[in-house]
Amino acid sequence: MKLNVEKLAIINYPDPRLRQVAEPIEAITPLVQQVVKRMLELMVEADGVGLAAPQVGLSWRLFVSNPRGEAAKDMVFINPRLSDRSGLIDSDEGCLSIPHVNGVIRRAGEVTITATNLEGREFKLTGTELLARIWQHETDHLDGKLIIDRFSEADKLKARRSLKQLEADYKKSRPKAKAK
């Protein structure tokens, strides 16, 4: 696969790549390591706490997160699986791929994640509150789901104008089809 990692950027709704179910990563190659490094840079630049590979246009089951913003706390999750969800918490949530759109989403307050790290070792962690929310949000991206799919009707109405603007911006950014 020929990929210019430095050109990776966060893509915005309604880019169809955000709706694809991501493919498992078969091997941790130097390319995967370079992509992870770039994704961490993009997440920090965007002032985010998590970023999934589909958000940079890659259909890979991979996300990075860092709820505290300290480089030593960067985490990489390859082929993650969630389990043991418990408790429900409603909280306001946004997304780097859907700028200026927020809504209240109900998610498990505690969740266990099993994933592979960059060294190829499987690990298992249990997270609560913000950590649990990040893992669930990013895993949704790997399954082609967006926060707007989980919005209440009121939040969908509130977001409508911003979503229409993102759709118009996306349409303008696409190359025009040539008439025959």
Whether the Cβ atoms of residue 55 and residue 35 lie closer than 8 Å to each other: no
pLDDT score recorded for residue 175: 76
Rounded distance between C-alpha atoms, residue 74 and residue 129, angstroms? 18
pLDDT score recorded for residue 178: 56
Distances in Å between the alpha carbon of 168 and those of 75, 159, 162?
Answer: 34, 14, 10
**Is 49 inside a domain boundary?**
yes
CA dihedral (115, 35, 103, 159) in degrees, to 10, reads -150
Q: Which domain holds residue 17?
A: 5-172
CATH at 152: 3.90.45.10
Rounded distance between C-alpha atoms, residue 74 and residue 112, angstroms? 18
Name the domain count of the chain. 1
- The answer to whether the predicted template modeling score (pTM) of the entire model surpasses 0.75 is yes
**Is 18 inside a domain boundary?**
yes
**Is 180 inside a domain boundary?**
no
**Is 178 inside a domain boundary?**
no
pLDDT score recorded for residue 179: 54
Catalytic: which of 23, 41, 138, 153? 138
pLDDT score recorded for residue 68: 81
Whether 138 sits among the annotated catalytic residues: the reply is: yes
**Is 133 inside a domain boundary?**
yes
Residues of the chain with pLDDT under 50: none
Q: Strand 75-94's sheet: what is its strand order?
A: 50-52, 62-65, 75-94, 102-116, 122-128
CB within 8 Å of 171: residues ≥ 6 apart: none
**Is 46 inside a domain boundary?**
yes
pLDDT score recorded for residue 2: 79
**Is 12 inside a domain boundary?**
yes
**Is 179 inside a domain boundary?**
no
pLDDT score recorded for residue 75: 95
